[in-house]
Amino acid sequence: MVSARQTKNDGFAGAAAADVTLWRPEPMGARSARLCAASLCALGMLGLLLPAGNVLAETPATPKKTVTAKATQAETVDRPVQSIVALVNDEPITGYEIQQRVALAMLGAPEMQKKLQARLKAPNMNDQFKAFAIKRLQANPPKSEAEQQQRIKQLQGEFVASIKGQIEKEFVPTARKQALDELIDERLKLQEAKKLSVVAADDEVERILAGMAERNKMTTAQFGEHLQKMGANITVMRERIRASLSWTDVIRRKFGHQITVANRDVDKMVATTEAQDDVELRIHRVLLNLPTNPDQKRLAQRLSDAENMRSRFTGCKTMDAMARGVSGARFDNLGDRRPSSLPEPTRSLLLAAHDDELLPATIGENGVELWAVCGRKVVKADSAKRETAQNELRQKEFEILSKKYLKDLRTDAHIEYR
């Protein structure tokens, strides 16, 4: 995490002080002109002033107006934060909840971060800061070197915060819509979890939260205080974690028996990663020869012969005899082959095929080819790699079922926007 104090540039303040004469009583007009001139000289060193780090996460969020939905999700008006924005099966979502979700989303939005950095690096940024600072220094000129240093640091933070506020304002409408969608989904998830009595317990939520804090080298309490200083609330994070854990149990309870992973799918994933040599396929092939430059009629005839053979295929054991019955056809028992030795797209097609399955005809370098998978085996029996592949495939199936079921719940729900 980046703290706000990292944005301060002590080097700039020290350099600026060298250009400032200590204040002595003199006529108001002359004194103001001289001190403002000294400040302007200091502002000329802006290159030392603007931070280049993660400034978006360093400046506390400024209060924002809350906009809530009226009639439809797209039409919004200003309302008190405690007003009801939407009802999900008669369960309310308030403007305050949306405000808190927006504040949390603003902390880590990469688009905002990029836009802020681009704005701070704009060619006219020096001129903008000078105008911003001179206006405030003229209104209240510094009276000493120490005050000069303090005011420069203060103006730096105010200037960056003002630009950050402008960018946040541009992102708020999109962030509010996303926050409302997220809250609606969470209401539906928790409602379903309550029906099945699988709502995540407090200790489960706190365990996940403690892990997040530990990764940031903080305790849970320190993590909560840090979020609060940045304008967000740790309670929002607890709600999101509870909904996520509960929803996982809902999908497992309702669809766990449907989430199955076939061995051929695991083989395919293992074979297309660094562990591709862990699987061997037993392969048979029939090659129907073609002349060097066949005409369309000859090619069409060979493809027709191949399709006739496929229609008569009953298993790998019959391929040799089947090839002998076709003029110009040759049977090859290629034995056990590692996927890395096979060209694409043949490799992927074979990995995806069932055992004793004959693939559709393809045109190769030497003629029309018919490939069959006649068995497979794990060579090195690397259980860790296969287990990883199985878990990834299960997770993909889980996500597909999760999205579909949530979509169904949302379709059937009574959602009223206010």
- Mean pLDDT score of the chain: 76
pLDDT tens digits along 203-255? 999 999 998 999 888 999 999 998 888 888 899 999 999 999 999 999 989 88
Q: Which CATH number covers residue 359?
A: 3.10.50.40
Are residues 44 and 87 located together in one domain of the fold? yes
Q: Has residue 137 been placed in a domain?
A: yes
Cα dihedral sign, 261-264-268-270 = positive
User: Are 217 and 73 in the same domain?
Assistant: yes
Domain limit, last residue, from 219, 254, 289: 254
- My answer on whether 22 and 90 are in the same domain is yes
Domain assignment present for 392 = no
Residue 414, in any domain of the structure: no
**pLDDT tier, 383 (very low <50, low <70, confident <90, very high otherwise):** low
Residues 324-333 have a mean pLDDT of 86
Residue 343: pLDDT band with limits 50, 70, 90? confident
Q: What is the pLDDT of residues 101-115, one digit of tens each?
A: 888 887 767 777 788
User: Could you tell me if 222 and 147 lie in one domain?
Assistant: yes
Last residue of a domain, one of 211, 226, 254: 254
- 291 with 353, same domain: the answer is yes
Taking only the tens place, the pLDDT of each residue in 142-170 is 788 788 778 878 888 888 888 888 887 88
Residue 386 lies in a domain: no
pLDDT number for residue 3: 38
**Token couple for 333:** 């028992």
Q: What angle do CA 282, 287, 293 make, to 5 degrees?
A: 145
For residue 391, being part of any structural domain is answered with: no
Could you say which of 254, 277, 295 is where a domain stops? 254
Whole domain around residue 341: which residue ranges? 263-378
* Proportion of the chain in helix, strand, coil states, percent, rounded to 5: 60, 15, 25
Binned at pLDDT 50, 70 and 90, residue 59 comes out as: very low
Q: What pLDDT is attached to residue 108?
A: 65
Q: Is the pLDDT of residue 355 over 80?
A: yes
Shared domain for 218 and 267, answered yes or no, is: no
Cα separation, 19 vs 34, in Å, equals 11
CB 35 within 8 A of CB 23: yes
Residue 393 lies in a domain: no
Q: How many domains does the chain have?
A: 2
- Indicate whether 197 and 340 sit together in one domain: no
Between residues 382 and 399, which one has the greater pLDDT? 399
Residues 112 and 11 in one domain: yes
Collapsing DSSP states into helix, strand and coil, what is residue 73?
A: strand
* 413 part of a folded domain: no
- The C-alpha atoms of residue 216 and residue 222 are separated, in whole angstroms, by 10
User: How open is the CA angle 340-359-365, to the nearest 5 degrees?
Assistant: 65
* Shared domain check, 143 and 220: yes
| Predicted confidence (pLDDT) per residue in 18-52, tens digit | 333 223 333 334 444 444 444 444 444 333 334 43
- Is 185 a member of any domain? yes
Residue 313 shares a structural domain with residue 357 = yes
What is the model's pLDDT at position 33?
Answer: 41
Integer Cα distance of 330 and 324 in angstroms: 7
pLDDT score for 414: 94
| Cα 208 from Cα 241, distance rounded (Å) | 8
Residue 88 and residue 60 in one domain: yes
Same domain, 195 and 324: no
Angle at 198 between CA 197 and CA 201, to 5 degrees: 115
